[in-house]
Structure 1
Amino acid sequence: MRVAYICADPGVPVFGTKGSSVHVQEIVRAWRRAGADVTVYCTRTGADRPADLAGLPVVEILSQSDSGAGRASGARREHGAATVSGAGQDSGAGRASGARREHAIRDAAAALGQAVIRDGCDVVYERYSLFSPALAMAAGALGVPAVLEVNAPLIDEQQQYRELHDAGLAERMLRTNAAASSVVACVSEPVVRWVEGRIPGARTVLAPNGVNTERITPRLAGRDHSSRLTVAFVGTLKPWHGVGYLLEAVAHANMRGAGPTWQAKIIGDGPCRQELERTAAQLGVEAEFTGAVAPDSVPRLLHECDAAAAPYPLPAPGRDDYFSPLKVYEYLAAGLPVVASGVGQIPSILQHKRTGLLVPPGDPGAIAAALQRLGADASLRERLGTQARAAAVGLYSWDSVLATIRQALTSERSVA
């Protein structure tokens, strides 16, 4: 079976360090373990290619505005014809430039679709991006089944946190690709509702994230750091990840005086890093900020920790928390007791007092109390960590994620 995996979002480098890049790599690995020959078609290759994907065929197609970007060795590079004007313009010109950039992304994605048609495949699998027509083009021309993987309500996200200049284009591309898809794989129930609300009759399947339990191995049991413990956070440092709450919680836990001292290991980078470093210094919290690291380095860094946190804030009124956080699955696989906000999909992933401790969102005091509880009881840390690892292995492998999608794909084809 030949699978064409399409990632047309220039914000998601295939071989990058962010969670979306890890997701791409793990789905590709799962397809390959299932016996498929996979070729990746993307608008940004990235420069952190893992050794086990060294031989993965990659076709990279860029707009002229991106043609100076770096690429990983082994990629077949092609170029789209679109250009994008530079910055430093007035607001009207800026809007026009933003729309041109969105259209340039569409044109590069269309070129990806043409490349898939030229190369041929048996299944088209695309990670949803805002402006790509690639899936519909390739699946329609080749007459093959297609999967659209939706990880977030990107139109809403773009309008709320960034800028969306041609919302009509984004809406048309979503409708076109969903209509052409045999299956629309959604990462969470809120994403299922979002897709079905926009495209009634879309053939959705719930396929939450998973974890590679061979890449993320368990830490050694019996760590004896009774006087100084480390809590980890993995992810991009953005406001909605709540890292500031974790730093406040560490300070509160340490000020209460009982039990060991906690320190933080913040694994990742992002726009809030400098602010968070200042916050740690002001609070007197010992915190290591590793910066962005390759996915292969994450297990070693987690093994140096005694607990891990997903300290999400209180959701905004009327907003569904749609995420299926990779970090929580990775914490479980590393055999770490997890302290996490009970929002979104987390209560369905984490069993309170069995694989971790659930706390109210946006509550540093509750996180501090959980850290104190873990700090005071080494046997609790070990028990939660052991059960966390067992859950990761038994329930949350990427192979099982892909199996869910493939089963839905097979069922849809048999019905058709």
Structure 2
Amino acid sequence: MTRVAYVCADPGVPIFGTKGSSVHVQEIVRAWRGSGADVTVYCARRGTDRPADLADLDVIEVRPEPAPAGAAREQAVQEAALALVDEVLHRGCGLVYERYSLFSPALSVLAPVLDIPSVLEVNAPLIEEQQRYRQLVDIKKAETVLRRNAGTADVVACVSEPVIRWVRDRVPAARTVLVPNGVNVGRITPRMAGRRSPDHLTVAFVGTLKPWHGVPGLLHGVALANAQTTDASRRWRVLVIGDGPVRVDLERLAAALGVEAEFTGAVTPDAVPGLLNAADAAAAPYPPDVAGQDDYFSPLKVYEYMAAAMPIIASSVGQIPYILDDGRTGILVQPGEPAAIAQALTRLGEDPLLREGLGRSARDDAVTRFSWDGVLARITASLPPLRRVAAP
């Protein structure tokens, strides 16, 4: 049995939380355990929303010491990561799997010392993200940590081609492999066929409510679609599953547009399937300023919509055209064009067979192309032959 040390030293990623990053951690852990591995998680933030099936998961938490924003906080994060390294060395392991974070050198220390296989998972160009959206003081240290970890890892698993390019620009010799995100097709099962209400249709959005997720475009699109129909039963309402800093602005916008919108607030991952089952379609309405800038993302929400057999409307940006086949597993629209969203909603509202056909095909692709077991299998298959471990 392989003993896996899963390291997540990012204090912004609770292992047991409601964020997409938390879901990602949990699903990779489930896939490892499903393969027969013994997994211990070493983290900077445990979180409080532990699912029942991970009740027995061994989690070692070392929180960074409280520090003001800036250099002191960055140093505290690195020191907590080094304390996690000590914990792994004390307990031992047969493989280290680290979710890349800005100031954790864990993999570059553990893999050579223990002489074990190692995987670095890179989900985003965190250096630029931190500079753009938050604060990054010690850029040199962040660059050094990335070079050492990516240069040491047997496999650098990247969620998209832009992330691969970002890693290779800094570490040309990095052994990168493209591994888009996935979905738990056992946890998220197909929604029941048919309308949810004879009086209206519901389009769902799942995610943290931040400006770059494009929910205002969805609300404007719904308002346009509703204005163009005289059939009340084809009018759309919006179900927003999640919470975030722009929630109040979105609530005000929905009211101003006359769009009926329900905001659930933050929910646990286990609650998402049931909420999706209450909707007739789902949306990933990314705005145009994402294209060309943040197009590295591999959005978990789209995979979850697919697993739930939802008809999907999504902006044609980033990795979404790779995930969705326009007209077969979803409807792709130009980003930032509410009229295009309205047209797609009208098509779905008028054609129940289209809704069901898109959903069935999306579910089929989720099962055959995007299961988390398949994600992990691609990663482990990329390990050098002499360092390969059992995979699902």
| Common topology (TM > 0.5) | yes
How is 1:358-369 mapped onto 2 (pairs within 5 angstroms)? 358-369=332-343
How is 1:369-380 mapped onto 2 (pairs within 5 angstroms)? 369-380=343-354
The answer on whether the counterparts of 2:290 and 2:317 sit within 8 Å (CA) in structure 1 is no
In the other structure, the counterpart of 2:71 is 99
In the other structure, the counterpart of 1:12 is 13
Structure 1 alignment gaps of length 5 or more: 66-83, 86-96
How is 1:142-181 mapped onto 2 (pairs within 5 angstroms)? 142-181=114-153
Cα deviation, residue 63, structure 1: 2.4
1:228-267: CA deviations, max 9, x gaps?
Answer: 0000000000111000000111111101124411000000
Matched, 1:2 2:3: yes
In the other structure, the counterpart of 2:365 is 391
Matched, 1:302 2:303: no
Q: Report the residue type matching 1:13 in the other structure.
A: P
The answer on whether the counterparts of 2:190 and 2:308 sit within 8 Å (CA) in structure 1 is yes
Identity, % of aligned positions: 64
Q: Report the residue type matching 1:5 in the other structure.
A: Y
In the other structure, the counterpart of 1:27 is 28
Cα deviation, residue 34, structure 1: 0.6
1:362-413: CA deviations, max 9, x gaps?
Answer: 1111001000000011111111111111111111100000000000014474
Q: 1:190 to 1:302 in 2, by over 3 A?
A: same
Q: Report the residue type matching 1:367 in the other structure.
A: I
Between 294-303 and 348-357, report the one with greater CA deviation. Answer: 348-357
Cα deviation, residue 319, structure 1: 2.4
Within 1, Cα distance between the matches of 2:277 and 2:202? 10
Cα deviation, residue 223, structure 1: 3.0
The answer on whether the counterparts of 2:107 and 2:118 sit within 8 Å (CA) in structure 1 is yes
How is 1:225-244 mapped onto 2 (pairs within 5 angstroms)? 225-244=197-216
Within 2, Cα distance between the matches of 1:278 and 1:411? 57
Q: 1:336 to 1:298 in 2, by over 3 A?
A: same
Q: Which has the higher contact order (CA 8 A, sep 6+)?
A: 2
SS in structure 1 of the partner of residue 157 of structure 2: strand
Within 1, Cα distance between the matches of 2:292 and 2:51? 40
In the other structure, the counterpart of 2:247 is 273
Within 2, Cα distance between the matches of 1:154 and 1:276? 27
How is 1:53-202 mapped onto 2 (pairs within 5 angstroms)? 53-65=54-66, 84-85=67-68, 97-202=69-174
SS in structure 1 of the partner of residue 10 of structure 2: coil
In the other structure, the counterpart of 1:254 is 226
Cα deviation, residue 143, structure 1: 0.9
Within 2, Cα distance between the matches of 1:317 and 1:266? 23
The answer on whether the counterparts of 2:298 and 2:319 sit within 8 Å (CA) in structure 1 is yes
| Count of residues in Structure 1 that have an aligned counterpart in Structure 2 | 385
The answer on whether the counterparts of 1:183 and 1:412 sit within 8 Å (CA) in structure 2 is no
SS in structure 2 of the partner of residue 291 of structure 1: coil
Within 2, Cα distance between the matches of 1:318 and 1:290? 31
Within 1, Cα distance between the matches of 2:268 and 2:80? 27
SS in structure 1 of the partner of residue 143 of structure 2: helix
Structure 2 alignment gaps of length 5 or more: none
In the other structure, the counterpart of 2:38 is 37
1:61-97: CA deviations, max 9, x gaps?
Answer: 01232xxxxxxxxxxxxxxxxxx24xxxxxxxxxxx5
Cα deviation, residue 359, structure 1: 0.4
CA RMSD of aligned residues (A): 1.3
Within 2, Cα distance between the matches of 1:373 and 1:318? 29
The answer on whether the counterparts of 1:190 and 1:320 sit within 8 Å (CA) in structure 2 is no
Q: Report the residue type matching 2:192 in the other structure.
A: L
Q: Report the residue type matching 2:117 in the other structure.
A: P
Q: Report the residue type matching 1:406 in the other structure.
A: T
The answer on whether the counterparts of 1:182 and 1:412 sit within 8 Å (CA) in structure 2 is no
Within 2, Cα distance between the matches of 1:118 and 1:288? 49
Cα deviation, residue 227, structure 1: 3.4
With the length of structure 1 as denominator, give the TM-score of the two structures.
Answer: 0.91
Within 1, Cα distance between the matches of 2:249 and 2:291? 26
Cα deviation, residue 188, structure 1: 0.3
Within 1, Cα distance between the matches of 2:6 and 2:209? 28
Within 2, Cα distance between the matches of 1:301 and 1:392? 19
The answer on whether the counterparts of 1:337 and 1:355 sit within 8 Å (CA) in structure 2 is yes
Cα deviation, residue 178, structure 1: 0.9
SS in structure 2 of the partner of residue 353 of structure 1: coil
Q: 1:411 to 1:247 in 2, by over 3 A?
A: farther
Match of 2:296 among 302, 322, 326: 322
Within 1, Cα distance between the matches of 2:22 and 2:107? 19
